[in-house]
Structure 1
Amino acid sequence: MALYTQEQIDKANQTNLEEFLQQKGEHLRKTGSESVLIYKDSTGEHDSISVRRNRWYDHKNMRGGYPLKFMQEFYGMNFRTAMKELLHGEEPELGRKKNAEQEKPNVSEKTKVNGNTAKCEDGTKKSEFKLPEKDINMKRVFAYLLNTRFLDKDVVKSFVEQKTLYQEKEHGNIVFVGTDKEGVPKSACKKSTAEHAKGFRMTVAGSDCRYGFCWRGESSKLYVFEAAIDLMSFITLRNDEWKADSFLALDGLSPKPLLQFLEEQKNIHEIFLCLDYDVAGIETYDKLKDILIEKGYVAEKIKRQYPLYKDWNEQLKAEHGKVPILPQSHPKKTAYHVAVRKLGIMNANTESPYMKWRKQEYEKSGFSFYLEQMKRDFKQAEKSVKKGEADTKPLLASILRMADLSICMMCEIKRDDTLPELTRYQTTIQELEKAYKTYLDKARMDRRIQEMKEEMERLETFSFQDQPSLFVWAKNMANMAMRAIIYVETEYLQELERKNSFVEQSKEEQKTEPDTTEQMELEMGG
């Protein structure tokens, strides 16, 4: 089979992604030396993807790279389709296919786009760090933080006195400084005090992303926030003697400032994750908690504190009579809960045709009924996905049965006769829901189907007597099916729409391309 050569792969990855996306009709907004891709998904409109020439970085999901990976991640394309698009239809040449590590240029993919400077993920600096020049006064900063953001004056003064907050001379921006344990400045972020530039913020060139705006206390408690203003808002809302505790702003959602802070502050044993009450905050809580547990912190000592509204400053605004931005639940977690309720209601109706059929077939054939029916349902689901059908009802019906039957298997293998059948079922599925983490659930539909297929093939290695292995298999399948249901309910139609619009545009472009062979013949006189 003809394969793309390494030269072709390198050529694809050298594509100017900014120009390519603009030609495809994507919405990009220029911000300094880079562009921000504006896109929509089930959670709303986002601007988390930075693009600069042939590189991209998704700050929300903390991954990035080059054009080939972007086409696979964002459009859900396979390798060959992505290559063909980037090379404008160029066919693969005969050659030995390189491994995944060779599918990118000889430049570290760890270099990412962030603000107006490129920084490596290991924290090494690409340019010299220098704090912006201080203004002679703090009038604009105090006016903004006290009158617009409603922060307590003494709280603001405390950070000014420790020299981690000041007013920039050139533009009058607020400068939030990140320091190490010795108080040495390591990073800085500028934020506008002007109402018309409400969303403006910029990381100062050369900043070491491992250090965040913080307050170092002597107690064992650490409170973690996304932004410096949220941190100071929380302290203002507390209205107590706060200085004994520690407070840290991540300046986003990266775990690096938290890990560095904990490395330096060995007195911390209780961590409160006070992130925004929105999609990104919900996902980051789960991720940070998992990272901290891996580092040896006790799960019970890692706690979540929610603001009443979208973030802590919105809560502070509400207390001053302003209309706050409301909290936002995670669509996938909401969809998961709805699916759990559906399955619970379905199982409660023991007289329905489906429930009678399921019981009758299980009594007749035992586990083999569950397994054979799941195989049939999987084949139907796989067929629907391959066709790319916009009508998702048949697909949902197949996956829902797979989830139901695999949960039934789990209940039967670990049968507890002291509990009613419905209680066993509901307890099992609620445990699956409790363990669900959205940050780990990012795959496109074709990848989900592939994982199910691989799990189905693993089934051939088990015997009905190997019940521990069968239980693990059934649990894996239940998780996969439930996640697939959630994806279909929240993002699958948008994936199809994005793919189809891209394919249609490519077809139109091919139609309008001149026939070069005919043109050459005309120029040569026929």
Structure 2
Amino acid sequence: MKYVSADEKEKANNVNLLEYLSLIGEPLKSEGNNFYRHEDHDSLVIHAKKNYFSWNSKGVSGNAVTYLMNVHDLKFQEAVKKINTDLDGKDLSAYKPPKITYPEYFKYDVKEVSTTKNAFDYLVNDRKLDPDLVQSFIKADLIKEDSYRNVVFKWKENGQLIGANLQGTREIPPKKRIDTNRPYFKKVLPTTKDATNSGFNITRGYPEKLYFFESPIDLLSYFSLNKNTLTNCRLISMDGLKQQTFAYTLKRTLKDLRSRNRKLDSIKLCVDNDEAGKEFVSKIQQYKLTRSDGKDIPIESYIPDLPPGEIKWDWNNQLKAKVNESLKKT
């Protein structure tokens, strides 16, 4: 196989995946929302907006080069050469990430239903959350259910609805999953630029302690484990590992505390025990935060302990393990 140049690699790696696969005649069918599914491999999905594919049954994902290597069994150099040959003389665009736009106002277009039975059953029986806690948040209009049986986690600030998460309650069959690592439907509703950096949050008393989580489920799991000891705190879901959410919440909380003549005591990073979570903690702990009275604000790692044999562990795993252990003793 001939040597491939750096320019050839760059061109192959950055080609618009959907346009290229259409050019070479790959059998794809649209599933809406910029997703396309391979007609011969029903677990292979193209994410046009993000310019990559996921082949769930094989556990692989990537760009056009990776696609050819896995779907057409080509070696790396062969895949790079093929893409460059296919593109020769063709006016095919390189992938450009879409410009992010934000609505001027948050539009809550969720069709809520009067019952929360499916949401409650999923959160309590599948996720093992404390039933009294779940019921209290349902009554507080922070958790609802929509017409598709999804759990709705409402984001509120000062009583105003500014955003929401949707969490599916029915497991998606492996071959139908858009993302291999997501067995349930998940969606964050589009909201304003400022509110995008917020998330599902709960405040108890004065927010003198901040707790950051990767998801609403993790937040509620930690709350279930520590509901009798959590006081004067604010817990917030980042929907991943978002430094923007950390910064936004910190700024908002400091403003709230100043208006009440209170001060921030500590920050807890309650993220997953995996490489990404540890890297996030390392980045955030590089910041040095000092109060107006000269006292440092500690940024603490509250990552759950990783049990032997596991490669990833989150606060919902921790809650389930404790509940199961309690059941064994009864």
Alignment TM class, shorter chain as reference: 0.5 to 0.7
Match of 1:206 among 185, 190, 201: 190
Give how far 1:274 is off: 0.5
Task: Indicate the RMSD between aligned Cα atoms, in angstroms.
Answer: 4.8
**Residues 21/183 of structure 1: CA separation in 2 closer, same or farther (3 Å cut):** farther
Q: Which amino acid aligns with 1:172?
A: R
Report SS of the residue matched to 1:166: strand
Among 200, 207, 218, which residue is 1:230 paired with?
A: 218
- Which residue of the partner structure matches residue 120 of structure 2? 142
Label 1:33 to 1:22 Cα distance change in 2 as closer, same or farther (>3 A).
same
More strand, by proportion:
2
Q: Could you tell me how far 1:183 is from its partner in structure 2?
A: 2.7
Q: Which amino acid aligns with 1:242?
A: L
Are 1:16 and 1:54, in contact at CA under 8 Å, matched by a contact in 2?
Answer: no
The structure showing larger relative contact order (alpha-carbon pairs under 8 Å, at least 6 residues apart) is 2
Aligned residue number for residue 321 of structure 2: 318
CA 1:244/1:269 → structure 2, altered by over 3 Å: closer, same or farther? closer
Q: How does 1:113-262 map to 2 (within 5 A)?
A: 120=100, 124-125=102-103, 129-168=107-146, 170-179=147-156, 181-195=157-171, 199-208=183-192, 209-217=196-204, 218-262=206-250
Maintained 8 Å contact 2:106/2:162: no
Contact 1:224 1:273 (C-alpha < 8 Å) held by counterparts: yes
Shift of 1:228: 0.7
Residue 71 of structure 2 corresponds to which residue in structure 1?
Answer: none
CA distance in 2 between counterparts of 1:84 and 1:12 reads 12
- Alpha-carbon deviations, 1:459-481, whole Å to 9, x = none? xxxxxxxxxxxxxxxxxxxxxxx
Structure 1 residues 24-75: Cα deviation after superposition (integer angstroms, max 9, x where no partner): 99xxx97853269xxxxxxxxxx9x9831674599xxxxxxxx89x99xxxx
Secondary structure (helix, strand or coil) at the match of 1:88 reads: helix
TM-score with structure 1 setting the length: 0.41
Match of 1:15 in 2: 16
* Contact 1:233/1:316 (<8 A) preserved: yes
Q: CA–CA distance in 1 between the matches of 2:219 and 2:24?
A: 42
Show the counterpart of 2:277. Answer: 281
How far 1:272 sits from its partner (Å)?
0.3
TM-score using structure 2 length: 0.63
Structure-1 residue corresponding to 2:176: none
Higher Rg:
1
Which aligned pairs between 1:443-522 and structure 2 lie closer than 5 A? none
Distance (Å, rounded) in 2 between the aligned partners of 1:313 and 1:88: 48
* Alignment partners' CA distance in 1, 2:115 and 2:12: 53
Question: What is the CA–CA distance in structure 2 between the aligned matches of 1:269 and 1:83, rounded to whole Å?
Answer: 58
Matched-pair contact (CA < 8 Å) for 2:102–2:191: no
Cα offset for 1:202? 2.6
Aligned CA distance change for structure 1 residues 34 and 124 (closer, same or farther; 3 Å): same
> C-alpha distance in 2, partners of 1:54/1:83?
23
**CA distance change for structure 1 residues 207 and 82 in 2, over 3 Å: closer, same or farther?**
farther
Is 1:305 paired with 2:302?
Answer: yes
**Contact 2:168–2:186 (CA<8 Å) still a contact in 1?**
no
How has the CA–CA distance of structure 1 residues 223 and 22 changed in structure 2, closer, same or farther, with 3 Å as cutoff? Answer: farther
- 2 CA distance for matches of 1:150 and 1:53? 35
- Structure with the largest fraction of helix: 1
Q: Distance in 2 between matches of 1:249 and 1:129?
A: 20
Identity of aligned residues (%): 22
Letter aligned with residue 194 of structure 1: R
* Structure 2 letter corresponding to 1:303: E
Deviation at 1:306, TM superposition (A): 2.0
Tell me if structure 1 keeps the 8 A contact 2:219–2:236: yes
Does the Cα contact within 8 Å between 2:119 and 2:150 map onto a contact in 1? Answer: yes
